[in-house]
Structure 1
């Protein structure tokens, strides 16, 4: 008797709305097991001392543009992502908890509410911060209103747009680009 394959993380969280996503976004998020993707990215970083400290604590990428390699290992318990910017890895672990997408980045754990929203002629996954903990200590959600992401498709390519700006700190990072998803 064969085991039932695990339900992919995004399908768990988005339910029927998952089917509204464009093909490349669905493909990237419905695969189980290990997959590698390559694309291009542009990264803008804040330059203040506090911005650099916060970026270090969450292992955010350095300023620049070039190639990005993304490795995703998806299993029943969640996903492990490794994003390689100019050879430097930004690793995170993602899992579902109470209908939220949780992501551990360095010393910080975020919980995001995912939404499928119209974007141009299609739909996008939009990430909204619901909760944040730094080294296990809860932080005020209002501090993170400038943190989020969008995943969408344009020109038959998977696209991403990730941004993080904090009050009193300014921009931590804004990175955007595309991946080839076969």
Structure 2
């Protein structure tokens, strides 16, 4: 009996399917490899000011406001990824995995489920579900103003994340660029 080894497909490639191959090189490079990768760049972080906004940012370990360097370590293996973003002495960690055709991301106390799409050569993240403590579901409609976009600017990987909630208002808006360290 012969054993066939099935080549591993990266998390984002498996979720985006054939659209992954049409993405610009900086996006494919960041999302394609297994192992450990270190990326460095610049980020601008704008944080919400309301008490509820600050609590939500704490619960998801969002970075502090400011402009400056960012370092992102990505450890990928067997269709799972761990991202650690270092901004101004703050580490924002998340774990990512696939489930039911969606990207799952655990950020602090909150589990997000995102629908990924390739739109005009960008990767667009749209919230499809949210749970607190992995158990308590929250209405998806609350998260209609939470979105992320990855795109290329020449040979540079770029990102933008915007999050706002009803009652809390703006939580965070961060954007920047990364290059392989």
Q: TM-score, normalised by structure 1?
A: 0.94
Partners of 2:13 and 2:32 within 8 A in 1: yes
How many angstroms apart in 2 are the aligned matches of 1:166 and 1:20?
Answer: 33
Q: 1:69 is matched with which residue: 68, 71, 74?
A: 71
CA RMSD of aligned residues (A): 1.4
- In the TM superposition, residue 4 of structure 1 has moved relative to its aligned partner by 4.6
Which blocks of at least 5 consecutive residues in structure 2 are unaligned?
A: none
- In the TM superposition, residue 181 of structure 1 has moved relative to its aligned partner by 3.3
2:59 paired residue number: 57
2:123 paired residue number: 125
2:101 paired residue number: 99
Q: 2:12 is matched with which residue: 10, 13, 21?
A: 10
Q: Does 1:166 align with 2:165?
A: yes
Q: TM-score, normalised by structure 2?
A: 0.95
Summarize the Cα distance change of 1:2–1:74 in structure 2 as closer, same or farther, 3 Å threshold: farther
Partners of 1:158 and 1:181 within 8 A in 2: no
SS at match of 2:146: strand
- In the TM superposition, residue 5 of structure 1 has moved relative to its aligned partner by 4.4
Partners of 1:27 and 1:181 within 8 A in 2: no
Q: Does 1:39 align with 2:41?
A: yes
- In the TM superposition, residue 3 of structure 1 has moved relative to its aligned partner by 5.1
SS at match of 2:176: strand
- In the TM superposition, residue 70 of structure 1 has moved relative to its aligned partner by 0.2
Partners of 2:41 and 2:179 within 8 A in 1: yes
Partners of 2:10 and 2:79 within 8 A in 1: no
Q: Deviations for 1:27-62, whole angstroms, at most 9, x for unmatched residues? A: 000011011000000000001100000000000011
Which blocks of at least 5 consecutive residues in structure 1 are unaligned?
A: none
For residues 18-33 of structure 1, the aligned pairs below 5 Å read 18-33=20-35
